[in-house]
């Protein structure tokens, strides 16, 4: 059920529920389309895109970006490696960590999946919100994310 607001009074628990349910439904729809067309899921696409756009990243960088634990991130990278989409290389400035690099196959996959992802997001969100509503939603969610990240709220400890 959608949240209700009266003037400036907003039902924040209902907003939270709407936000989480929207995220889940969008993620599931993207999973379905990416799996159908490219054999990957949204989390794999996002990791591959991050590695493409941030060369020389470490597992810790991925974990920080996606606000997930180091262990879960490392297991995700293990799966990317198993598929041949990424490799760990020694970090010349820190022997305790590795740098993550996309393989040629990983680069091709993320580039091909990007159009599917972008088109599906445009269809799902653009089909539901007009320009003004979409702009307001983008601003509000961006401000909320910035505040949470600035204050390190919801950052995993391990």
pLDDT per residue as tens digits for the range 92-141: 998 888 999 999 999 999 999 999 999 999 999 988 998 899 899 999 99
Each residue's pLDDT tens digit, 24-67? 999 999 999 999 999 999 999 999 999 999 999 999 999 999 99
CA separation for the pair 31, 57 (Å, rounded):
24
Phi-psi region of 81 (alpha: psi -120 to 50; beta: other; left: phi over 0): alpha
pLDDT in tens, 60-84: 999 999 999 999 999 999 999 999 9
CA–CA distance, 126 with 129 (Å, rounded to integer)? 5
CA–CA gap between residue 60 and residue 124 (Å, rounded): 31
User: What would the mean pLDDT of 16-20 be, rounded to a whole number?
Assistant: 95
For residue 150, the model assigns a pLDDT of: 92
Can you tell me the distance from the alpha carbon of 110 to that of 129, in angstroms, rounded to the nearest whole number? Answer: 27
Is the pTM of the predicted complex or chain greater than 0.75? Answer: yes
Q: What is the pLDDT of residue 10?
A: 86
Contact 47, 62 (CB under 8 A): yes
**CATH topology for the 14-150 domain:** Arc Repressor Mutant, subunit A (1.10.10)
């Amino acid at each position: 059920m959608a949240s209700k607001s009266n003037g400036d009074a907003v039902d924040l628990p209902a907003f939270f529920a709407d936000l989480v349910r929207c995220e889940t439904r969008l993620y599931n729809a993207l999973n379905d389309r990416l799996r159908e067309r490219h054999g990957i899921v949204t989390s794999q696409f996002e990791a591959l895109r991050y590695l493409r756009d941030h060369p020389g990243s470490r597992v810790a960088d991925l974990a920080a970006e996606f606000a997930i634990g180091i262990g879960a991130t490392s297991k995700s990278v293990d799966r990317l490696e198993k598929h041949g989409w990424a490799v760990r290389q020694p970090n010349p400035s820190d022997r305790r960590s590795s740098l993550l690099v996309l393989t040629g196959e990983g680069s091709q996959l993320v580039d091909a999946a990007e159009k599917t992802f972008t088109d599906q997001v445009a269809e799902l969100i653009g089909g539901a919100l007009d320009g003004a509503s979409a702009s307001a939603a983008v601003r509000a969610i961006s401000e909320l994310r910035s505040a949470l990240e600035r204050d390190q709220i919801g950052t995993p400890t391990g």
